[in-house]
Structure 1
Amino acid sequence: MSHRELYCDVCEGVALFEAPPCVDGHGTDCPELICTGCGTAVMVGTFTFPVTRLAARRRQPARRHAA
């Protein structure tokens, strides 16, 4: 099991969290964590954005208005 120290809202402080045995095949990188103090479960997730969409937004020319 993987152990991490994170802030727990229920314990109101930093607590040790561990990843339970993962049935989805994530192993130690499982996004589900459980507080060892109170048993609160949390899900750790990340977001990724396609670079092509962001780059396309930046390349749009600025609109100019006549005075």
Structure 2
Amino acid sequence: MVGLVDEYRYCSTCDAERPFERPECLDGHGADCPERCCVHCGEAILVDPPLAPARSTPRRVLAA
């Protein structure tokens, strides 16, 4: 893990309040990265994930 302890949250794996940190963001979000990881067990959560699924683009099927 790369981040410092960012906040305390409930961890469902530990079944307790635990410190969570922000890992190194490989998606380019920087300080706005929504990922957090439990310092004790490593469980990952998304803080404020999108409420709607991403729209997919229909694929075109080419005739053989």
TM range (shorter): 0.5 to 0.7
Aligned to 2:31, what secondary structure does the other structure show? helix
TM-score relative to the length of structure 2: 0.63
Q: When the two structures are superposed, what TM-score results if normalisation uses the length of structure 1?
A: 0.60
Report the RMSD for the aligned CA atoms in angstroms. 1.8
* Aligned-partner SS, 1:28: helix
* Greater fraction of residues in helix: 1
* Deviation at residue 42 of structure 1 after TM alignment: 0.6
Match of 1:22? 25
Provide structure 1 residue ranges, at least 5 long, that are not aligned to the other structure: 49-67
Shift of 1:28: 2.3
Residue number in structure 2 paired with 1:64:
none
- Aligned counterparts of 1:47 and 1:40: Cα–Cα separation in 2: 19
Instruction: Point out where structure 2 has 5 or more consecutive residues left out of the alignment.
Output: 52-64
Read off the aligned partner of 1:7 and give its amino acid letter. Y
Q: What is the CA-CA distance between 1:22 and the residue it aligns to? A: 0.4
Question: Which of the residues 11, 14, 18 maps onto 1:11?
Answer: 14
